[in-house]
Amino acid sequence: MEQTEQRINTLRRELERHNYLYYVQSQPVISDYDYDMMFKELEQLEKQYPMYADPNSPTQRVGSDVNVEFRQVKHQYPMLSLDNTYNESELADFDARVSKELAAAHRYVCELKYDGLSVSLTYRNGELLRAVTRGDGIQGDDVTANVRTVRSIPLKLHGGGWPEEFEIRGEIVMPRQVFEKLNIERIEAGEAPFANPRNAASGTLKMQNSAQVAKRSLDCFLYFLLGENLPATSHYENLQKAREWGFKIPFYASLCNSVEEITQFIAEWDAGRRSLPFDIDGIVVKVDDLSQQRQLGVRAKSPRWAVAYKFPAERVETRLDSISYQVGRTGVVTPVANLEPVRLAGTTVKRATLHNADQMQLLDIREGDTVFVEKGGEIIPKVIGVNPDKRPADSVPTQFITHCPECGSALLRNEGEAAWCCPNDRCPPQVKGRIEHFISRKAMNIDSLGEGKLEVLYDKGLVRDVADLYGLRREQLVGLEKILTGEDGNRRKIAFGQRTAENMLAGIKASVQVPFERVLYAVGIRFVGETIARKLARSFKSIDALAEATCEQLTAVDEIGERIAGSVADFFSREDNLALLQRLKQAGLRFTVDEDARGRKSDALQGKTVVVSGVFSIPRDDIKKMIEEHGGKNTGSISSNTDFVLAGEKMGPEKLKKAESLHIPIISEEEFYKLIES
């Protein structure tokens, strides 16, 4: 047993070292395969020997699918906000106040102001003890379980020399590349995209399911050390020491001795911030010496020894030439401002979103207005205001359209929603949008249909829905051609030759092998993204069973709420959707789960609906996998349809209460193993 414990500890140390090299230093020294093999070995040993469990083990970074309520924790040191400055004159005033108060030589540390969610990490004896959000500055949410999934945050420190207990603060951020990918997935699922990476990072860290947080690839920059017995009396030197312990301390910080050096640092990063893979919204200026920080003290809500210089959002004025309206695949009508071209944040902007009718009314926006345009989150152009002094005398208020600009149907607005929608499923943009979604990479992956070919097929009347794709013939395609004009005004010719037609038909034919969960995602049920489609497919196992499911049965599935359940039920209540699915079945698409692919081991739990609650000797994901392998179905909530609850330690009290009230059997982990072995 001693050798086993030594091996577990060795693997943990090695995996943490490689995490640090990969996520902090960006200098991996082993392949992903070798890392995965080490990880799997540790995972297996921890399952086999649960007495060596450790909440700070690298295996815990994947998170848990147990939903938890955040408890409030009081900060040992208040998390104050910073006063903001916006120009060189205000910086000079700050320096003058500091100089007058100290009456001694001093220097500053300039750091980037990361646009994310503030977090405070407490370490005891070199291990992560607790992570708390800023909250109101006095107390915040305990998000330790979620923070453990952020791979750039060390769970155990490197080297030595750290205080017995200390606090380090920083910013949880979402890299732009991750943000853009997440928004694409949300749009494909019919959900509203996040406005910017900061909102996405904040929303992610507040999710109650840490397994979902782990999938979002958050990052963390640390910038402030607090506690007794710190290594140095210099803020800057303490950060350098913290870097040696394994923290991701940015290299962007700089020591400055004057306002002139500070403004030079600001100018450099105002010009260079768009080259960063994450968002910043300014520069933080701090007095470096800790004893001088204490001498300067704090106000009620902000320190006197630090200030934030905020970059002004890049904003331009331009003329609003016209307002047009776009129809998405779900029927939502979005107003778009067509602008006189203008340079903004390094690109030429011709169009900007107006969001919805309420926002247009709030701005009182009119064609011919001179408008202010910014890039939301430095990415999406948006109109944020109107210059009334330049409004033409003959302008008239804008009335949001009442009928679809594409098909003429009267628009509808659902109660509680801001968007107006076209109710006509046969509206051309909706039809083309659904087909584009169907053939996309994460759905049916028919990439041979890209580059404008779908537009040609629709315009020629060959494809009016996704099932039409499976009836196309080579003789219909060869010789087709069309000139398409892009949004940039450029024209290009799309032509179908012999090879183009054959490649396209081969791609369509190959798509019938796509598994059921991706087919379910591809048919485009509103609010059903990749993850939800996978859960529905695995829970109901066939499209027929899903079509017959009640809302109660749907909401019993993990992560399925009333909104999704209502959307699924509505989809299957419509005759045109059922007819489309029937044609796709006849084309050979897969509408049942391949049991062999799922690794079915027995029918011990055939037809049983199981709720898993509590902590087990092995990860909950493995428990759920075993239930499926033996024919059972996992659900997230207890109902009259639940056959039994599999309870580990610390079973949720609400689930226990509901199970007892419904007289649902509760079995232990040991009883579960006996059941499936039988």
**Which residues are known to be catalytic?**
113
Question: How many CA atoms within 13 Å lie on the side-chain side of 598?
Answer: 25
C-alpha distances out from residue 605 to 182, 239, 672, Å:
36, 55, 10
**Burial of 388 per CB tally in 10 Å (0-12, 13-18, 19+):** exposed
CB 553 within 8 A of CB 641: yes
Instruction: Tell me if residue 148 falls in helix, strand or coil.
Output: coil
For 536-577, the DSSP string reads HHHHH-BHHHHHH--HHHHHTSTT--HHHHHHHHHHHT-HHH
C-alpha distances out from residue 598 to 1, 393, 516, 602, 625, Å:
35, 69, 12, 12, 9
CB 212 within 8 A of CB 200: no
The dihedrals phi and psi of 81, each to the nearest 5 degrees, come to: -90, 170
* Distance, CA of 652 to CA of 266 (rounded, Å): 51
Q: Which amino acid is at 188?
A: E
* Distance, CA of 272 to CA of 613 (rounded, Å): 49
Instruction: Tell me if residue 317 falls in helix, strand or coil.
Output: strand
The dihedrals phi and psi of 259, each to the nearest 5 degrees, come to: -65, -35
Write the DSSP symbol of residue 322. Answer: E
Instruction: Tell me if residue 163 falls in helix, strand or coil.
Output: coil
CB 470 within 8 A of CB 587: yes
Q: Which amino acid is at 623?
A: I
Give the angle subtended at the CA of 79 by the CAs of 262 and 277, to the nearest 5°. 55
Give the angle subtended at the CA of 334 by the CAs of 328 and 340, to the nearest 5°. 120
Residue with tokens 């379910």, as numbered in its chain? 520
* Distance, CA of 342 to CA of 350 (rounded, Å): 7
- With CA atoms as reference, report the closest residue to 316 among 268, 385, 393: 385
Per the structure block, which two tokens stand in for 163? 């205080």
The 8 Å CB, 24+ separation contacts for 327-330 are 327/404, 327/405, 327/406, 327/422, 327/427, 327/429, 327/430, 328/429, 328/430, 328/433, 329/429, 329/430, 329/432, 329/433, 329/434, 329/436, 329/437, 329/524, 330/190, 330/421, 330/430, 330/433, 330/526
